[in-house]
Amino acid sequence: MRDENCIFCRIAAGEIPSETIYEDDACRVILDLGPASNGHMLILPKDHYADVTELPEEAAAPLLPLAARLGKAAMKGLGCAGFNLVQNNGEAAGQTVRHFHLHVIPRYEGGPAMCAWTPGEQTPEERAAAGKALRENL
């Protein structure tokens, strides 16, 4: 359940020092070394899963409540006004470390825009084709 060449496996195991915010048997929460904002955290499972498609349900289930708890701690402790949960899967989606991780990114009043996209346009036919392809592959 661990990849010897994976830096996040080594950080999660405590072999590489990190600014640890929280730890339990299943995961470690650290501060990101290239933070999008002050207090940017990464939730790292201790077992190696490349991305969310490999993450078993029992490993996934506690992560959202933990992220909420961390976000609330950032609001109370650091004074952010909100926070984003971001989770990238695959290089095309911006994933740079192939060990599942969930970003908790504090957002401050007047802070820079991030985690946003420009709304696109789609014809009803295009939307219907996308819906069909998705439903057929669930």
Q: How far is the CB of 133 from ligand AMP (least distance, A)?
A: 26
| 7 contacts ligand AMP (rule: CB under 6 A) | yes
Give the helix, strand, coil percentages of the chain, each rounded to 5: 30, 20, 50
| Active site annotation includes 101 | yes
Closest CA to 108 of 86, 82, 84: 82
Question: Can you tell me which of 17, 34, 110, 119 binds ligand AMP, judged by CB under 6 A?
Answer: 34
Tell me how far CA of residue 71 lies from CA of 25, 43, 67, 91, in angstroms: 21, 12, 6, 26
- For 42, phi then psi, to 5°, come to -125, 125
Closest residue to bound ligand AMP by CB: 34
- Pick 30 or 63: Cβ nearer ligand AMP: 30
CA distance 74 to 41: 10
| 99 contacts Zn ion (rule: CB under 5 A) | yes
> CB under 5 A: which stretch of 32-40, 63-71, 79-87, 98-106 binds Zn ion?
98-106
Active site residues: 101
Given the rule CB under 5 A, which residues bind Zn ion? 3, 6, 8-9, 48, 99
